[in-house]
Amino acid sequence: MRTPDRKPEPAMKPAPFDYVQAESVEHALTLLAEHGDESKILAGGQSLIPMLNLRLARPCVLVDIGGLHELRGADELGQGLQCGSLLTHHELALGRHPALRGYRALADAAALIGHYPIRTRGTLGGSVAHADNASEWCLMALVLDAVIIAAGPGGMREIPAAEFFLGFFTTALRPDELIIGIRFPRPAAATRLEEFARRSGDFAIVAAAADLIVESGACRQARVALGGVAASAVRVPAAEAVLEGLRLDDARGWQAAIREAAHICSARTDPPSDIHGSAAYRRRLTVVLTERALRRCLAEAVLTGTTTAARAAPAASRKESP
């Protein structure tokens, strides 16, 4: 007896699209202007390719900017740092570039991202543009007051990180714009990122980043940002205000202020419940991780005598990844 013909099961593949390899930033912008919402930028592809395979994204044109080597550099700008959008997580984790010496916290954050193969392909600009609410780079951009540099048909546009992340996978980037760099305006000498994930390399269930600027022995400015507790990474100004003005030698005052700031962070968020953890669990993680990040920031500030002009020890002095 002849078995009826059966159609093969469809494989998990993206919807059809045209592929164009950009020859320059100008060429990429021309393609974006021509195709608008129908196009997507491909950099490292670590977020976009899974979305294409699951058909969560259905672009008609994929514009590959991976060959634009001019977007892979890092330059010192006064006390600040400007990173090209195509710097990979791995390059940042190694911290070999001389311009990264005052930014050990960036190397530490990069080392937390995914696994080694992901870090070698994923890019700084791609992660920021994707705007995952638990992204390490979104949190670091917020606490370090970073500026996202976008190129578009009208020229260059600078977008403060505080205005860039608008919601769930949503940013202020226009469809015809391309992120070409991220500028961190000051050293990250007393900056820490703490996160908790079920397994090493998984997305964080909750993450907390903190930064302290200390002048003349007192905290002039504090930044606290949280991931995994809202639609996008968020700052908590009320918690920051508790820390500002404290002197480094006021150990008792810092202990109380850190506890208060952590509980403010928990109270001011409304995290979701899902298979990874309830809202109550995420609030508890928020307290623990915020306290941990702030205590380590304080220890770093005391150790280095942090000022706005201070430089942390070169990241390249640490043991490198394989």
Q: CB atoms < 10 A from the CB of 108, how many? A: 20
Contacts of residue 53, Cβ cutoff 8 Å, sequence gap at least 6: 12, 13, 14
pLDDT at 313: 33
Residue 187 near residue 311 (C-beta atoms within 8 A): yes
Residue 53 near residue 162 (C-beta atoms within 8 A): no
Low-confidence ranges of the chain (pLDDT < 50): 1, 306-322
pLDDT at 1: 46
Alpha carbon separation from 243 to 38, 135, 256, 295, 304 (Å, rounded): 46, 25, 10, 12, 19
- CA torsion, ordered 72, 76, 82, 86, to nearest 10 deg: 10
Torsion sign over Cα 224, 225, 228, 232: positive
pLDDT at 186: 87
* pTM recorded for the entire structure: 0.87
pLDDT at 81: 93
pLDDT at 4: 54
Q: Give pLDDT tens digits for 43-89.
A: 999 999 999 999 999 999 999 999 999 999 999 888 889 999 999 99
Q: CB atoms < 10 A from the CB of 121, how many? A: 17
H helices of the chain, in order, are 25-35, 48-53, 89-94, 104-111, 116-121, 124-130, 136-143, 161-164, 237-243, 251-267, 279-304
List the Cα angle 210/231/263 in 5-degree steps.
45
Q: Name the 3-class secondary structure at 157.
A: strand
Q: Give pLDDT tens digits for 196-241.
A: 999 888 899 999 999 999 999 999 999 999 999 999 999 999 999 9
